[in-house]
Amino acid sequence: MGQDTEKIAYISESDQTDGEPTVQSPADDFADDLADEKTVATPDGTISPALHAVAPAGTKPEERAAEAVATPALPADQVPDGGLMAWLQVVGSAAILVNTWGMINTFGVFQAYYEAELLRTHSSSEISWIGSTQSALLFLVGVVAGPLYDAGYFRHLLIVGLFLIVLGQFMTSLCIAYWQVMLAQGIAMGIGMGLTFLPSAAILGQYFSRHRALALGLSSVGSPVAGSVFPILFSRLQPRVGFSWATRAIAFILLGVSVIPIACMRTRVPPAARRRSLIDRSALRDAPYLLFVVGGVFAFLTLYVTFFYITLFAASRHVASDSFAPYLVTLLNAGSILGRIIPNALADRYGSMNLITVCIFVSAVLVFGWLGIRDLGGAVVHALLYGAFSGGVVSLTPSVIVGLSPDMGRVGARMGMSFVVMGIAILVGTPIAGAILGSEEHPQWLGTQLYSAFGLLLATAFFCVSRFLLYRRKRNWKA
Band (194; pLDDT cuts 50, 70, 90): very high
pLDDT digits (tens, 9 = 90+) for 233-287: 998 899 999 999 999 999 999 999 999 999 999 888 777 665 556 677 777 888 9
Question: 181: pLDDT confidence band, cut at 50, 70 and 90?
Answer: very high
C-alpha span between 273 and 37 (Å, rounded): 13
Q: Where residue 182 falls among pLDDT bands split at 50, 70, 90?
A: very high
Q: Which of 9-23, 132-146, 303-317 has the lowest mean pLDDT?
A: 9-23
Q: What is the per-residue pLDDT for 325?
A: 80
Nearest one of 425, 403, 227 to 330, comparing CA atoms: 227
Sign of CA dihedral 447, 451, 452, 457: positive
CA atoms within a 13 Å half-sphere pointing along the CA-CB vector of 334: 14
Backbone angles phi, psi at 73, to 5 degrees: -90, -145
What mean pLDDT do residues 105-132 have? 86
The answer, as to whether pTM is greater than 0.95, is no
- Going by C-alpha positions, the residue among 376, 369, 397 that lies closest to residue 453 is 369
Percentage of the chain lying above the pLDDT 90 cut: 34
User: CA-to-CA distance for 125 and 3, rounded, in angstroms?
Assistant: 47
Instruction: Report the length, in residues, of the chain.
Output: 479
pLDDT at 185 over 90: yes
At residue 41, φ and ψ (nearest 5 deg) are -75, 125
- Let me know: does 208 contact 133? Beta carbons within 8 Å: no
Q: What is the pLDDT of residue 41?
A: 36
**Residue 342 reports pLDDT greater than 80:** yes
Model confidence at 343, pLDDT cuts 50, 70, 90, reads confident
Q: Which amino acid is at 431?
A: P
User: For the segment 167-179, what is each residue's pLDDT rounded down to a tens digit?
Assistant: 999 999 999 999 9
Does residue 60 register a pLDDT over 50? Answer: no
Task: Check residue 330 and give its pLDDT.
Answer: 83
Q: Is the pLDDT of residue 344 over 50?
A: yes
CA–CA separation, 106 vs 228, rounded Å? 8
